[in-house]
Every structure is written in structure tokens, then in C-alpha cells.
Structure 1
Amino acid sequence: MISQLKMKRLKLFLTLMGLPMILMFNIGLSLSFVPVFLVDFITYFQTGSAVIGAVSSLSLTVMCLSAPVTSFLGQRLGCRLTVCIGCCFTSVGFFFSSLVQNPWQLLISHSFITGLGCSLTFTNIIPLLGIFPERHLPTANGIVYCGNGVGVILFPILCKELSYLYGFRGALMIVSGISLNGLVIALLLKFANKELNIKTEMNRKRKSKQLKLENECYLTDDKSEDALDDLETRPQPKVTIFGSLKGQLLICYMFPRFAGLLIANFFLSVGYVGFIVHMVANATYNGFSDSEAALIASVYGVGSITGRLTHGIPIRYNWISTYHLFWLSCLLDCFLMLGYPFCSSKVLLYILTVVIAYNVGVHVPLIPVMVRVFVGDEYFHQAFGIVQVPGGIGCVIGGFAAGWLYDLTNSYNDAFFFMSASYLIVPLIFMAIELFLKRREKQRTSENYNALAQQTTPL
């Protein structure tokens, strides 16, 4: 018994180490592609920042908008197989990006193929966290999300060095091979996939037994008892794509705070993607050397991974709720981005980038945690798919709008003011949701009191 428990803990530990590595070789590489090769493609295609910025952010848009479909595929094919398919798509997308001759071809290779691969991977890795105990879930969530941050730290410098040695096309071919390491790790996730299926099946049987106990009160004959006994053995209906999408839309109606999170994620993505797409280009146009500009991305990765590792600590010790920590970190990034254009010192710019990235590392991993808090484990897989859709729309707007403002004014100042305003809207949305819920609760309490008063009033 002890040996089995130790073996299970060892497998959980290996799974916890493997999941962030998959994200590192997929999402981390994709995020490194965005800032590092932006100037290279602008120079090669002789086009503006808005075009290439939109192409880069469209990858994140496809990743988010396709999340409901990739979530459905994960439910049908299993998380492990879907992650393996996503790793292959990501590698193929990087390879085709090394062969492009026109910007529209980059739309297909990077925006669509790589974005779809990242969606297949990311959307089906996060549900695997359900195998961890509830008390360790925030910590496990932070560790897994660190894969993105580690990738952003390591790969920008690596990609820049590869670009010097082999040109940006040769660098992208090598990056394509590097991303296949995620496939090797995904093939070893058999334990996690099996454990998640067992836990899901146990939850289904528990609900079936609860339904049976509730219906036993209404039994009138033995024939009805036999019919209820068949509930456990009756095959469950297969999940269809239309049924999955319908269920995802109903979740928005059932949980108002989750609906508010959808709207907030749109504005959050506008500011987040606009910053990450153009932070290296901003440093380059402000006189930084190529190595110093690439270091901006690595510095961003350091702050992001620190935030992802430590964001669960105040929640674990009940210093602050998940809800308040989320919008408070967004509010801090609002003020920090407002002062970003006024940084004249390189050291100060690095420090400000670290602090911004730290807050991003806090609120981005909290999105799936908040989804779990708002809708529960029963609806998590479906809800996590749809929460990324408004984020995908915000991704393309953020990358394009920041580049368009730079082309219009020949300065990134207005672009950062725009991103700051996007972050400011996030806490305002949650404040409005709380006011709405309090008003609705007060109205219901008043109606119940009046109804009770009418019942107890003597004739």
C-alpha cells in the first residue's frame, strides 16, 4: 500500500514537471517568435508594424477562438492524444514560416497552423490539472503556467543567436525541430490521462447515484426500481460539437461572474498582447541594440515566471481572495503601462518590464482558477474553452492597434496609453458585476420578504 502511494506521488510529480515543459516548447516558442522576429519580417517584407503585428497577434487569436472546438476534441479523443496532435501542428507551423515569401503566407503558417497547434496543446493541458488534490491546485497551476515564462526567458536569446548564425529562416527551421520535444513529453502522459478519465468517471457515477437516491422517493412499483437500476449501466450519449457549444453558451447565462470574466478577458488580452508583441520593437526603435532589445523579452520572462510561481502563496494562506488578486494585478499593470513611455533609462525600463510581467504572471494563470471557482469542476472543461474566445478577439485588436498607432504617430507612447486604458476596464467590469449581483440579491430578498408577509398576514 505504501509503495503504491509513493509510486502515485512520483507519477504526479513527473506529470507536474512534464506539463510545463510541453507549454515551454509550444506556447513559449510561439511567444518568442512574436517579438524576436518582428523586426526581421518588417525589414524583409518592407511593410509596417501594424501588418506584422497583426500577423503575430493573430496566432494568439486563432489559439483562443478555436478553443471551444479543441476543447470538444479533447473530450472526444482524450487530452493526451489531442496534445500530441497540437505539438505536431506547432512544429509544422514553424517550419512553413521559414519558407514564406509574402505576408499572407505568414498568416497561414504562423497565425493559423501554429495558433491551432498551441490551442490544441494549451486547452487540453490545463484540464489535466484536475488530477491534483484541491489544496495543491493553485501551486500546480502556477508551476504549469511557468512553462510559458521559461520559454520566454530562454528562447528569445536562443532565437536571436540562431538568427545571427543561420539567418531568420534557418533559425525558424531549427525552432521547428526544437518544438517537437513537446511531442516526446506528451507521449509520456499516459498516467495523467488515465487518472483524469478515472476521476471523471467517478464523478459521473456519484452524480448518477445521487439522482437515483432522489428518485427513490417517488418509486411506486418494482418496475420503476428496475428502470432506475439500469441508469448506471446505460451507455452515456456521446458528446457532439453542437451539444458542446450549446452547453458552453448556457454556462454564460447560468453564472454571471463567468460572463463578466469573458468580457474582462477581451480587454485584458488587448493590453497583454499589445505589450508583448511590441515591447522588443519599442526598445529597438528607442536606440537599444539587438541584444539589449532581445534581453527585454528575457527580462519579461523572468518577471512572468516569478509571478506564476508565487501567485498561489497569498491565496493559499488566505491573505487575499482569487477574485480580488486578479483585478488588483490588472489595475497595477494599468498604472505601470501608463508610465512605460516615460522611461528614459535602460535600467528603469528593465525594472518596469519585470514588474509588469510579474503582474501578468499573476493574473493570467488565475483565469482558469477563477473559471473553476465560478462554474465548478463539472463545467470546467467547457467553460475553459469558451473563456478564451473573447481573449482571441482581443489578441488581434491589441497587436494591430498598437502597431497602427505607432505607424500613425511614429511613436509608441499612444500605443502604451491605449494598452493602459484596456487594463483599467478589467477591474471596472468586475465592480459593475458585483453591484449588479448585490442589487439582484437585494431585490430577491425584498420579494421573498413581501411574499412571506402576505402569507402570514391574518385575514
Structure 2
Amino acid sequence: MKLFCNKKTYSDGGYGWVVVLCAFCIGFITDGISFAFGILLVELLDVFEQGRAPTLAIGAVMSGMMYCIGTGFGLMYLSANVCMMHHFKERQAIANGLAMCGSGAGAFAFNHLTNFLLESFGWRGTLLLTGGIVLNGVVFGLLLLQPTTANEDLLSDPNTAGKLNIKEETGQCSKPLRAIKTFCEQTFKEILFKDISCFIFFVSVFLYSFGRDVPFSLIPDQVTELGMSTTQAAWLISVAGITNTVSRAGFGWIGYRQCIKRMVLLEILTFLLGISTGLSFLFISFETKLLYMSMYGIFTGGYNSLRRIVLADIFGMEMLDKSFGLMMLIIAIADAVSTPSLGWLFDKTGNYNMSFIVTGAVFIFGGILMLIPRIL
């Protein structure tokens, strides 16, 4: 990833703010579409008449592929976020918070847009038009690399050939499988199994990731089962998007303060998220659901904004690429199994009550685990 980003000059400004804007727009598209799946789910359930578990697997596959192997949304999301963090050091928390606001803004906009498109063009037309929107990612991707220095960086870097795993004497690339094996061995040895604290941190990331998309995916179907309209469902997700956006920017600024213990903030946010989610099945009116989704947006926005900064605190900027990539893999696994398994609970119980209770418990357990690395 370093090869495709500018050198780590840590200018804390300049062209870095263009990269922040691009990361914002890419997050707006990728996460906006992902978080709008809950609105699409209601339509797909009516069209295909399948259970919640197999239908929710559609969104789980999309999200898992995005974070796991760098295809489609993954190429957009990972590149934008890693390149952005290479431009900042002192202002990294602020830049990270602003860039991540794109996810919340996308959640607000795409839910209403998806609902409108479904009513106007059906689910097939919605997917076609959404694909056209995704093509704008090409433009933002081109802007990630500073035009005036891109070629100079590659040509002047004496280690370029080594980074590409090119054998200079023959001009041939090393075997891909060998390169992948070496990368995986180094990543797991130097990051995941560096010590027990690092391993526990990533386990807690898995538990948080298991539950983070659940309200976005399940709330629309849950409230329509309670008799609310799809428009009300879209507003619930949009409110979470608004509060998520404000929270990401706010906690990005808070994380910039040297006196703040970022890990402690993560623990507090995780506990609050677990308690509110575990009790959310008791909120059956639109107003109370609105309150829960507002809290959910605040807690998840703060967590997501601080998590990458904590990652840099733990492993350092020199290991950011590998540690961030490993975190994306862990998120992918969690996303792939979370909503289908909770949808299976609906198929067995006939409602989402147990799904949200389990999700709340998972959040709380993840918060408890985060206490251990700090103690160690």
C-alpha cells in the first residue's frame, strides 16, 4: 500500500486535505450503500419470500468481501483510508474524524435515496442506478495520489523494485503464493501474536464488528413488522447517520487532545453501545426507536473515529498498513457471520428481540476484553 501513497512526509496539510476529501466521498459511497441494505432487505424479503438468514446473507457477503480481499468496495475503502493517514501525524485524529464523517453522511443520504429508487424503479432499477453512483469512485481514486509527485516518488525510490517483489536481475516477479505466504506470516507474527494484549485487542474488534451493522440491517425490517412505514424506517437509519457524522468529527477532535486516554473512551463507548442495544427491543414506538438510533449513531461514530488512532498508538505508523489490513480482515469475518446468524434467530423465534439482546451482550463482552490490554 505504501507504493500507491505519497511518501510519509506528514505534512499535516496541503494536498493531504484533498485526500481527506476523497476518503470522505469514498466512505460516503461505500458505507452509504452498505448501510442502506436494511431498506433493500424489506423489498428483497417480499420479492424472494425467503427466510431472514439467507436474505441477510446477501448484505453480509457484500460487506465481508469489502473488508476481506480488496475487491470492489474494498479497493476503494482500504486505499483511501490508508493513504489519508500517511499525510498526517499531529493532526491525524482530526483528519481521520473528518474523513470518516463520509460514512455517516452516506448512511443519511442513501437510505432516503434507496427508498425513493425502490418506489420509482423497483429493486432491479435501484441496483443499476446504484452501480452508476459507484463509478464516481474512479474519480476520487485518481485524486488519492498527488499528481505532481506521484511519478517522482516511484522513480526516485531505490526500494521500489523490492516493494514490488521484482527480481532486478531477471525482471520477473516472484511467485504470488510465496509473496502472500510471507506477508501473512509477518503480519500474524508481528501484529496479531505480538503479545497477548494485541491479540485481545483484535478479539474485541471482532466482537464490536459482529454487532456494529446489526441495527442498520435489522431495524428497518423490525419496525415494519411493528407496523411502521418504510419512510419511517429510512428516517431511523438517517438519524443514526446524522449523529454518527457529528460524533466522528467530535471524537476525532477529542482524540487529538494529548490528555485524553483513547482506549478508555473506546471502553466507555462499547459498554454504552452494549447496554442501549441490549435493551432496544423494549422500544416499540417510533419516538423511542429514534432515541435509540441517535444513541447508536453517537456511540458507533465515536468508536470508529478513535479505533484507527488507537491502532496507530499500539503498533506505530510504520506498522499501520499491516495492522489496518489485518483489522479489515477481522471485520470482514465478523460481518460475514453476524447478520445471517441473527437473522437465523428471527427465523427460530419469530421476532428480533433475541437478536438485539445477543448483540448487546457481545458489545459488553468486547468492552470487558478491552480492559485486559490496558491492565497488562
| TM-score, with structure 2 as normaliser | 0.86
1:237 CA displacement: 6.0
- Given candidates 149, 173, 180, the residue that maps to 1:241 is 180
1:15 CA displacement: 2.5
* CA 155–315 in structure 1, closer or farther in 2 if over 3 Å, else same: same
The C-alpha deviation readout for 1:156-211, integer Å capped at 9, x for no partner, is 10111111111111111111111111212222233189579959x99xxxxxxxxx
Verify the 8 A CA contact 2:270 2:367 in the aligned structure 1: yes
One-letter amino acid of the counterpart of residue 243, structure 1: T
Verify the 8 A CA contact 1:156 1:294 in the aligned structure 2: yes
Residue 354 of structure 1 corresponds to: 294
**What secondary structure does 2:72 align onto?**
helix
**What secondary structure does 2:318 align onto?**
coil
Q: Provide the C-alpha distance between the structure 2 equivalents of 1:352 and 1:393, rounded to a whole number of angstroms.
A: 26
Residue correspondence of structure 1 range 336-415 to structure 2 within 5 A? 336-415=276-355
The C-alpha deviation readout for 1:327-368, integer Å capped at 9, x for no partner, is 210110011112211113311210210111110011123222
**What secondary structure does 1:378 align onto?**
helix
- Given candidates 208, 215, 239, the residue that maps to 1:275 is 215
One-letter amino acid of the counterpart of residue 60, structure 1: S
**What secondary structure does 2:143 align onto?**
coil
Q: Provide the C-alpha distance between the structure 2 equivalents of 1:51 and 1:197, rounded to a whole number of angstroms.
A: 50
The C-alpha deviation readout for 1:83-107, integer Å capped at 9, x for no partner, is xxxxxxxxxxxxxxxxxxxxxxxxx
1:238 CA displacement: 4.0
- Given candidates 24, 41, 44, the residue that maps to 2:44 is 41
The C-alpha deviation readout for 1:192-243, integer Å capped at 9, x for no partner, is 89579959x99xxxxxxxxxxxxxxxxxxxxxxxxxxxxx889646443222
Residue 64 of structure 1 corresponds to: 67
Of 315-324 and 297-306, deviating more is 315-324
**What secondary structure does 2:279 align onto?**
helix
Contiguous gaps of at least 5 residues in structure 2:
1-10, 166-178
Contiguous gaps of at least 5 residues in structure 1:
1-6, 71-115, 203-231, 438-459
**What secondary structure does 2:284 align onto?**
coil
Residue 88 of structure 2 corresponds to: 133
**What secondary structure does 1:135 align onto?**
coil
Residue 297 of structure 1 corresponds to: 237
1:319 CA displacement: 5.1
Q: Provide the C-alpha distance between the structure 1 equivalents of 2:185 and 2:79, rounded to a whole number of angstroms.
A: 19
* CA 393–382 in structure 1, closer or farther in 2 if over 3 Å, else same: same
Verify the 8 A CA contact 2:220 2:230 in the aligned structure 1: no
Residue correspondence of structure 1 range 23-422 to structure 2 within 5 A? 23-32=27-36, 34-66=37-69, 70=70, 116-191=71-146, 194=149, 236=162, 238-239=164-165, 240-251=179-190, 252-318=192-258, 320-422=260-362
**What secondary structure does 1:311 align onto?**
helix
Q: Provide the C-alpha distance between the structure 2 equivalents of 1:372 and 1:11, rounded to a whole number of angstroms.
A: 21
* CA 195–234 in structure 1, closer or farther in 2 if over 3 Å, else same: closer
One-letter amino acid of the counterpart of residue 250, structure 1: K
One-letter amino acid of the counterpart of residue 344, structure 1: I
Q: Provide the C-alpha distance between the structure 2 equivalents of 1:286 and 1:300, rounded to a whole number of angstroms.
A: 19
Verify the 8 A CA contact 2:13 2:88 in the aligned structure 1: no
Q: Provide the C-alpha distance between the structure 1 equivalents of 2:312 and 2:268, rounded to a whole number of angstroms.
A: 19
One-letter amino acid of the counterpart of residue 142, structure 1: G
Residue 6 of structure 2 corresponds to: none
Verify the 8 A CA contact 1:26 1:182 in the aligned structure 2: no
Residue 215 of structure 1 corresponds to: none
| TM-score, with structure 1 as normaliser | 0.71
Instruction: Return the index of the structure with the highest Cα Rg.
Output: 1
1:317 CA displacement: 2.8
1:264 CA displacement: 0.9
One-letter amino acid of the counterpart of residue 16, structure 1: V
One-letter amino acid of the counterpart of residue 31, structure 1: F
* CA 249–165 in structure 1, closer or farther in 2 if over 3 Å, else same: same
1:398 CA displacement: 1.6
Q: Structure 1 or 2: larger helix share?
A: 1
Overall identity of the aligned pairs, in %? 20
Q: Provide the C-alpha distance between the structure 1 equivalents of 2:65 and 2:111, rounded to a whole number of angstroms.
A: 22
* CA 157–196 in structure 1, closer or farther in 2 if over 3 Å, else same: farther
The C-alpha deviation readout for 1:352-409, integer Å capped at 9, x for no partner, is 1011111001112322222211111111101111112222222122201221111111
Verify the 8 A CA contact 2:277 2:360 in the aligned structure 1: yes
Of 409-418 and 126-135, deviating more is 126-135
**What secondary structure does 2:116 align onto?**
helix
What is the RMSD computed on CA atoms of the aligned residues?
A: 2.5
1:294 CA displacement: 1.4
**What secondary structure does 1:288 align onto?**
coil
Q: Provide the C-alpha distance between the structure 2 equivalents of 1:48 and 1:173, rounded to a whole number of angstroms.
A: 25
One-letter amino acid of the counterpart of residue 245, structure 1: C
One-letter amino acid of the counterpart of residue 382, structure 1: K
Verify the 8 A CA contact 1:57 1:277 in the aligned structure 2: no
1:249 CA displacement: 0.8
One-letter amino acid of the counterpart of residue 409, structure 1: T
Residue 4 of structure 2 corresponds to: none
One-letter amino acid of the counterpart of residue 41, structure 1: L
Verify the 8 A CA contact 2:248 2:301 in the aligned structure 1: yes
